[in-house]
Amino acid sequence: MKNIAVIGAGTMGNGIAHTFAQFNYNVQLIDVSQTALDRAISIITRNLDRMIAKEKISEKDKKQTLSNITTFTSIKEGVKYASLVIEAASENALLKTNIFKELDEVCPEDTILATNTSSISITQLAAVTKRPDKVIGMHFMNPVPIMKLVEIIKGYNTSDDVMDFTIELTKEINKIPVKVNDYPGFVANRILMPMINESIETLYNDVAGVREIDDIMKLGMAHPMGPLQLADFIGLDVCLSILNVMYDGFKNPKYAPCPLLVNMVAGGKLGIKSGEGFYDYTSSKKSEKVAKMFL
Cα separation, 119 vs 182, in Å, equals: 9
Instruction: Calculate the CA dihedral of residues 30, 34, 35, 41 and round it to 10 degrees.
Output: 50
User: For this structure, is 189 an active site residue?
Assistant: yes
Active-site residue (options: 68, 189, 197, 274) = 189
Cα separation, 186 vs 202, in Å, equals: 25
- Closest to 42 in 3D by CA, of 23, 66, 73: 66
Q: DSSP 3-state assignment of 289? A: coil
User: For this structure, is 18 an active site residue?
Assistant: no
User: For this structure, is 151 an active site residue?
Assistant: yes
First to last CA, the chain: 50
Cα separation, 276 vs 282, in Å, equals: 7
For residues 257 and 242, the answer to whether their CB atoms sit within 8 Å is no
Active-site residue (options: 3, 68, 116, 118) = 118
User: For this structure, is 121 an active site residue?
Assistant: no
Q: What are phi and psi of 26, to 5 degrees?
A: -80, 120
Active-site residue (options: 14, 139, 197, 274) = 139
The partner residues of 84 in beta bridges, in order of sequence, read: 4, 112
Cα separation, 96 vs 87, in Å, equals: 8
Q: Which residues of 25-63 are buried (b: 16+ CB within 10 A; e: fewer)?
A: bbbbbbbeeeebbeebbebbeebbeebeeeeebeeeebe
Residues annotated as catalytic are 118, 139, 151, 189
